[in-house]
């Protein structure tokens, strides 16, 4: 960096590339407080003379870093950290600095592509050929209506995203649920955050974390459970590192993981545990809390109840008799119906008193609402539940490193319990996919809260269990907007008639429009495509044929079944290549938008540039497709396959002033009040630096004069549709603990943490000192109110089951759950077919998810050009392998080839390998197991049994 600055200070001639590098260096040096030669500073300022800067949000993870974007000549020319943003305070991670370059890959998709034969007709087996937007939408409409009219609303669906902008997700939910009357929309956030959602619902009755990032500096203990923050949330880890270095003696960091990762470099203590035994470790800590008299009884008695649920709930796998289940797969899948209880499970389950070692456990409560059922128990029952989880028992089953002594592991567990139990120590527990992508993901989320609630260390500055989000708007869009198959905005649920009525009123559609039946979750959508029940799918901001476990099934079904797959994409990734129609899509700074991050912070940005070619925003594709449906086609009576009848609501629609020939666009997106109240142009669209109006492709079209879906040049909708959708959406949460500020406010600030009440954000929920809703609901003199309304009336019983039919209300109470340890259904310890390695997947610092964007950034590609198979060197030696040898990784579902790395950043213990999933050439999801948490339906990508041999 300094070399470039000195170079220009000495008057050395520089090309444009060097000028840009110097400008970046000057900006970084300024942020770091370094002195800068005057000549260098002048050159930097001269280079930037015609740049327009504006605030925006990073495209990648759920941290929600603020960035500054510079544009010139309809191109993003520079990106830097936003020093005014409280999340990242001016710094970015390596991916963040390349937010511009992800938009300019050589193979960027710029026009629709449809599979056409030589006659110009759609043919599923034909190659892709360029078509107009009109031809693309004509085929989309024809295929949709062919299946929709024959099979009904359950035959169509959308794979949505935790990377939608909030307005895109909201528009998609309106189209699918109020328009098509289907609930078959589910985001890739199902893969990453669904277990966290269930944990919040079950424990607190409301979604999203109670704390915020300020906890990092306010605590003195950070415990990471299955959270490689150093690579997955590097900016947050930099804050942890800073806090640790500023107070090295007091500030303690513990890293719990199934393999050594970069978090261990900072940690005071590393605990490597056997996959799935995190449940046992947490029960051990709970037992210690009780034994040491560390329970905060004042907090527990005032604010909590104890609860449990059924253990025999299966693993979210298919019926083993499904014809698509292969003989090899059946070994594992049969455990969905019944399994043999192991000796170690028999001890863990002994408090229930139903199973002994060798018994067959039939998964009696695996279907329907069975996994969700839970009931209140006494403290004595809870105490009985954790009693078997002694130090000796847990250390024996949970030790994950064969080379570590049992005594060493025991000392670590004791030290971990010491940290939690210390009344003078604040503690924050962080987790991400290690907990969420877990066959008992909802349980282990509940157990994290269990520890903090027992201690009264929750919802306070520096104290709390904190679920970190993977995607940039998994919280703000997928969860809060409700782009899940079971949700509506602001924690409303499609199965609740009162909630449907609220949504129908706000959307101004007839009562009875919304389908009351929960739709297909992500994995079920794939299974239904293979079973021939879902015929038409639209993929948005997602790459499902690379990111879904057991991929061979779904790849084959997409190409060989009778269906039509539409993929909206910016680059030709795996899912685009299996599609029948590809729609070219505008990327993040080529559209207006908003994201919501992991600390409930909502942040908005303006459109900075116009997309290349004739690529258009996702929002535009949704609203344009809505023009293709008249009310009489969708709001008629439907008889669904399960016998549910959706009523004809056309008469009520007419009474509301609609015509049966009105389109869904007219009713859902082109409302008179939108046009009246949200005109374009709008003063908030002016750049704060230059005063120039930012572009808005949806509102006014743009200089490209794109020929739209009707064959005419698209001139825009004539109103500020993004603002209109925002202002309508936020009505769902006002007064209900999900309050959001108005649209303009977000363009003046660096985000706000909801609920935003009277202009003030909320840092710590449920705490009367910070949360206006806690003050509203708390009893006089009490400090906390866990006011979430969901699941707040449950029966009473004991560890064996509920004993009452009556449900007892639990106002303002949180639940402390007991959940038992159980062996994973594909644990290599019990495998007799040679699948003797655990396979764990995950991300790496340099790449985002499936690599569709980041693999096209030269610097990131060079840094990590391929996915490696991280292996313990002793395992490699035993197999006769050397570093970088090509091996086959084979599971019961498929196999891939990869090179082994025995000295890399990830250092697995013996018996485990880790393979990242960003590389489509090494499509590791061909090997992963499509087992899920039975409650959340989130896939367990962290555990599968594989065999490894030289290629």
Q: How far is CA 508 from CA 398, 463, 730, 795, in A?
A: 54, 43, 15, 37
pLDDT 10s digits, 931-943? 999 999 999 999 9
Indicate the angle between helix axes 618-626 and 166-173, nearest 10 degrees. Answer: 20
pLDDT 10s digits, 80-96? 999 999 999 999 999 99
CA–CA distance, 476 with 165 (Å, rounded to integer): 8
Question: What are the DSSP calls for 559-603, one per residue?
Answer: HHSS-EEEEEESS--HHHHH-SEEEEB--GGGS-EEEE-TTSEEE
pLDDT 10s digits, 673-690? 999 999 999 999 999 999
Phi–psi pair at 376, nearest 5 degrees: -80, 140
Residue with tokens 């905060």: 296
Through-space distance between the first and last CA atoms of the chain, rounded to whole angstroms: 43
3 state DSSP class of 815 = strand
Q: Which helix (H) or strand (E) holds 309?
A: strand 304-309
How much is the average pLDDT of 224-251? Answer: 97
Residue with tokens 């009336």: 793
In this structure, are residues 521 and 933 in contact, taking their beta carbons and an 8 Å threshold?
no
Categorize the per-residue pLDDT at 47 as very low, low, confident or very high, splitting at 50, 70 and 90.
confident
Categorize the per-residue pLDDT at 45 as very low, low, confident or very high, splitting at 50, 70 and 90.
confident
pLDDT at position 29 is 56
In this structure, are residues 332 and 357 in contact, taking their beta carbons and an 8 Å threshold?
no
Question: What are the DSSP calls for 641-684, one per residue?
Answer: TTS-EEPP-HHHHHHTT--TT-BHIIIIIS-HHHHHHSBSS-GG
Asked whether residue 279 carries a pLDDT value surpassing 80, the answer given is yes
Token pair belonging to 837: 């390695």
pLDDT at position 37 is 75
Asked whether residue 13 carries a pLDDT value surpassing 90, the answer given is no
Asked whether residue 280 carries a pLDDT value surpassing 50, the answer given is yes
How much is the average pLDDT of 157-185? Answer: 98
Categorize the per-residue pLDDT at 23 as very low, low, confident or very high, splitting at 50, 70 and 90.
low
Categorize the per-residue pLDDT at 21 as very low, low, confident or very high, splitting at 50, 70 and 90.
low
Token pair belonging to 612: 């290349």
- Cβ neighbours around 269 below 10 Å, total: 16
pLDDT at position 487 is 97
Phi–psi pair at 947, nearest 5 degrees: -115, 150
pLDDT 10s digits, 886-932? 999 999 999 999 999 999 999 999 999 999 999 999 999 999 999 99
Nearby residues of 514 by Cβ (< 8 Å), 6 or more positions away: 177, 178, 181, 488, 494, 500, 503, 504
Question: pLDDT > 70: what percent of the chain?
Answer: 96
CA–CA distance, 246 with 262 (Å, rounded to integer): 20
Token pair belonging to 704: 């490209």
CA–CA distance, 669 with 729 (Å, rounded to integer): 12
How much is the average pLDDT of 587-607? Answer: 98
Name 474's bridge partners.
none
Looking only at the bridges linking them, the beta strands covering 837-842 and 944-950 are antiparallel
pLDDT 10s digits, 632-642? 999 999 999 99
* Cα 829 to chain centroid, rounded: 31
Least confidently predicted of 14-18, 189-193, 471-475, 875-879: 14-18
CA–CA distance, 595 with 471 (Å, rounded to integer): 10
pLDDT at position 38 is 74
Token pair belonging to 36: 């800068």
Categorize the per-residue pLDDT at 4 as very low, low, confident or very high, splitting at 50, 70 and 90.
very low
Least confidently predicted of 322-326, 467-471, 693-697: 467-471
pLDDT at position 3 is 38
CA–CA distance, 335 with 800 (Å, rounded to integer): 22
- Cβ neighbours around 16 below 10 Å, total: 9
Asked whether residue 39 carries a pLDDT value surpassing 80, the answer given is no
DSSP secondary structure letter of residue 939: B
How much is the average pLDDT of 592-619? Answer: 98
Residue with tokens 């490193």: 401
Name 342's bridge partners.
none
Nearby residues of 712 by Cβ (< 8 Å), 6 or more positions away: none
Phi–psi pair at 729, nearest 5 degrees: -60, -40
Looking only at the bridges linking them, the beta strands covering 564-569 and 536-540 are parallel
Question: pLDDT > 90: what percent of the chain?
Answer: 95
Categorize the per-residue pLDDT at 191 as very low, low, confident or very high, splitting at 50, 70 and 90.
very high
Closest CA to 454 of 421, 495, 415, 487: 421
Q: Which residues are catalytic?
A: 95, 192-193, 433, 470-471
Name 537's bridge partners.
157, 565
* Range 175-178 contact pairs with CB under 8 angstroms and sequence separation of 24 or more: 175/622, 175/625, 175/626, 175/664, 175/668, 177/488, 177/494, 177/503, 177/514, 177/515, 178/503, 178/504, 178/507, 178/509, 178/513, 178/514, 178/668
> What integer best gives the mean pLDDT of the chain?
95
Question: Which H, E and C letters describe 362-406, residue by residue?
Answer: ECCCCCCCHHHCEEEECHHHHHHHHCCCCHHHHHHHHECCCCCCH
Token pair belonging to 33: 């407080």
In this structure, are residues 753 and 212 in contact, taking their beta carbons and an 8 Å threshold?
yes
In this structure, are residues 853 and 570 in contact, taking their beta carbons and an 8 Å threshold?
yes
Half-sphere exposure of 554 (CA within 13 A, CB side): 29
Token pair belonging to 439: 């066959």
pLDDT at position 46 is 74
pLDDT 10s digits, 715-768? 999 999 999 999 999 999 999 999 999 999 999 999 999 999 999 999 999 999
Categorize the per-residue pLDDT at 16 as very low, low, confident or very high, splitting at 50, 70 and 90.
very low
pLDDT 10s digits, 768-808? 999 999 999 999 999 999 999 999 999 999 999 999 999 99
Asked whether residue 1 carries a pLDDT value surpassing 90, the answer given is no
pLDDT at position 14 is 44
pLDDT 10s digits, 125-169? 999 999 999 999 999 999 999 999 999 999 999 999 999 999 999
Name 870's bridge partners.
901, 914
How much is the average pLDDT of 573-578? Answer: 98
- Cβ neighbours around 626 below 10 Å, total: 21
In this structure, are residues 747 and 507 in contact, taking their beta carbons and an 8 Å threshold?
no
Specify the higher pLDDT residue, 23 or 309: 309
Token pair belonging to 466: 């904190």
Nearby residues of 45 by Cβ (< 8 Å), 6 or more positions away: none
pLDDT at position 10 is 35
Asked whether residue 31 carries a pLDDT value surpassing 90, the answer given is no
Phi–psi pair at 689, nearest 5 degrees: -85, -45
Torsion of CA 140, 142, 144, 145, to 10 degrees: 150
DSSP secondary structure letter of residue 432: S
Half-sphere exposure of 11 (CA within 13 A, CB side): 0
Q: How far is CA 947 from CA 334, 413, 895, 896, in A?
A: 20, 31, 9, 11
Q: How far is CA 274 from CA 409, 823, 829, 919, in A?
A: 12, 10, 10, 26
pLDDT at position 43 is 66
Residue with tokens 């008629």: 636
Q: How far is CA 186 from CA 94, 474, 484, 763, 942, in A?
A: 30, 12, 4, 29, 21
- CA dihedral sign, ordered 72, 75, 76, 77: negative
- Cβ neighbours around 769 below 10 Å, total: 13
pLDDT at position 879 is 98
């Amino acid at each position: 960096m300094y070399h470039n600055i000195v170079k220009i200070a000495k008057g050395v001639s520089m090309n444009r590339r060097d000028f840009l590098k110097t400008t970046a260096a000057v900006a970084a040096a300024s942020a770091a407080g370094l002195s800068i030669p005057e000549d260098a500073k002048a050159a930097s300022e001269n280079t930037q003379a015609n740049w327009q800067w504006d605030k925006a949000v990073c495209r990648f993870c759920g941290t929600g870093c603020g960035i500054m974007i510079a544009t010139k000549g309809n191109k993003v020319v520079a990106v830097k950290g936003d020093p005014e943003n409280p999340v990242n305070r001016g710094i970015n991670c390596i991916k963040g600095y390349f937010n511009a370059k992800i938009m300019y890959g050589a193979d960027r998709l710029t026009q629709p592509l449809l599979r056409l034969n030589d006659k110009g007709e759609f043919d599923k087996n034909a190659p892709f050929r360029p078509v107009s937007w009109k031809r693309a939408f004509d085929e989309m409409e024809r295929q949709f209506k062919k299946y929709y009219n024959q099979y009904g609303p359950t035959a169509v669906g959308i794979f949505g995203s935790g990377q939608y902008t909030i307005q895109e997700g909201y528009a998609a939910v309106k189209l699918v649920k109020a328009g098509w009357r289907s609930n078959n929309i589910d985001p890739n956030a199902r893969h990453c955050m669904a277990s966290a959602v269930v944990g919040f619902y079950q424990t607190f009755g409301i979604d999203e974390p109670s704390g915020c990032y300020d906890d990092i500096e306010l605590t003195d203990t950070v415990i990471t459970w299955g959270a490689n923050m150093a690579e997955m949330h590097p900016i947050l880890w930099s804050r942890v590192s800073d806090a640790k270095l500023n107070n090295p003696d007091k500030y303690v960091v513990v890293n719990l993981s199934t393999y050594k990762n970069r978090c261990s470099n900072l940690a005071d203590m590393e605990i490597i545990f056997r996959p799935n035994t995190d449940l046992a470790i947490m029960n051990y800590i709970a037992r210690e809390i009780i034994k040491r008299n560390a329970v905060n009884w004042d907090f527990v008695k005032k604010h909590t109840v104890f609860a449990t649920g059924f253990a025999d709930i299966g693993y979210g796998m298919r019926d083993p008799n499904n014809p698509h289940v292969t003989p090899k797969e059946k070994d594992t899948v049969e455990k969905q119906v019944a399994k043999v209880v192991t000796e170690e499970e028999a001890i863990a389950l002994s408090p229930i008193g139903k199973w002994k070692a060798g018994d067959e456990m039939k998964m009696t409560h695996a279907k329907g609402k069975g996994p969700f059922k839970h009931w209140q128990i006494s403290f004595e029952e809870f105490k009985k539940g954790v009693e078997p989880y002694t130090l000796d028992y847990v250390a024996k089953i949970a030790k994950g490193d064969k080379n570590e002594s049992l005594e060493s592991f025991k000392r670590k567990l004791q030290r971990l319990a010491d940290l939690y139990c210390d009344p003078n120590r604040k503690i924050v527990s962080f987790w991400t996919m290690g907990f969420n992508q877990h066959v008992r993901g909802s349980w282990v989320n509940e157990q994290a809260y269990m520890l903090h609630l027992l201690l009264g260390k929750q919802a306070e500055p520096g104290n709390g269990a904190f679920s970190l989000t993977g995607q940039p708007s998994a919280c703000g869009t997928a969860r809060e907007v409700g782009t899940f198959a079971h949700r509506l905005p602001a924690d409303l649920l499609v199965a609740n008639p009162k909630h449907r009525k609220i949504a129908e009123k706000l959307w101004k559609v007839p009562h009875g429009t919304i389908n009351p039946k929960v739709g297909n979750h992500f994995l079920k959508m794939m299974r239904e495509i293979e079973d021939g029940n879902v015929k038409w799918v639209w993929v948005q901001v997602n790459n499902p044929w690379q990111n879904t476990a057991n991929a061979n099934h779904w790849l084959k079904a997409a190409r060989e079944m009778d269906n039509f797959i539409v993929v909206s994409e910016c680059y030709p990734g795996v899912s685009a290549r299996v599609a029948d129609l590809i729609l070219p899509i505008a990327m993040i700074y080529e559209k207006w938008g908003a994201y919501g991050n992991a600390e409930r912070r909502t942040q908005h940005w303006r459109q900075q540039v116009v997309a290349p070619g004739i690529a258009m925003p996702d929002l535009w594709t949704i609203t344009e497709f809505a023009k293709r449906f008249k009310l009489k086609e969708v709001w008629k009576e439907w008889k669904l396959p399960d016998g549910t009848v959706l009523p004809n609501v056309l008469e009520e629609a007419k009474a509301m002033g609609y015509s049966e020939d009105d389109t869904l666009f007219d009713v859902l997106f082109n409302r008179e009040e939108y046009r009246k109240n949200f005109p374009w142009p709008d003063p908030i669209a002016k750049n704060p630096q230059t005063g120039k109006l930012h572009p808005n492709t949806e509102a006014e079209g743009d200089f490209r004069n794109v020929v739209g879906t009707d064959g005419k040049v698209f001139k825009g909708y004539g109103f500020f549709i993004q603002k209109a959708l925002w202002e309508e959406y936020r009505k769902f949460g006002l007064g209900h603990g999900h309050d959001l500020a108005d649209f303009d406010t977000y363009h003046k600030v660096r985000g706000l943490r909801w609920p935003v009440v009277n202009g003030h954000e909320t840092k710590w929920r449920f705490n009367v000192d910070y949360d206006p809703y806690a003050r509203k609901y708390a009893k006089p003199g009490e400090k906390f109110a866990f006011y979430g309304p969901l699941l707040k009336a449950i029966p009473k019983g004991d560890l064996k089951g509920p004993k009452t039919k009556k449900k007892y209300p639990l106002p303002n109470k949180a639940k402390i759950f007991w959940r038992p340890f159980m062996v994973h259904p594909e644990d290599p310890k019990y495998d007799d077919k040679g699948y003797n390695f655990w396979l764990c997947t995950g991300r790496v610092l340099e790449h985002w998810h499936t690599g569709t964007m980041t693999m096209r950034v030269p610097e990131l590609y060079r840094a990590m050009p391929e996915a490696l198979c991280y292996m313990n060197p002793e395992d490699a030696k035993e197999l006769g392998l050397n570093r970088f040898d090509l091996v086959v990784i084979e599971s019961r579902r498929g196999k891939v080839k990869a090179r082994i790395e025995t000295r890399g950043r990830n250092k697995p213990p013996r018996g485990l390998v880790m393979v990242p999933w960003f590389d489509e050439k090494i499509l590791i999801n061909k090997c992963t197991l499509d087992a899920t948490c039975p409650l959340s339906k989130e896939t367990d990508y962290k555990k599968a049994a594989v065999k490894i041999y030289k290629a």
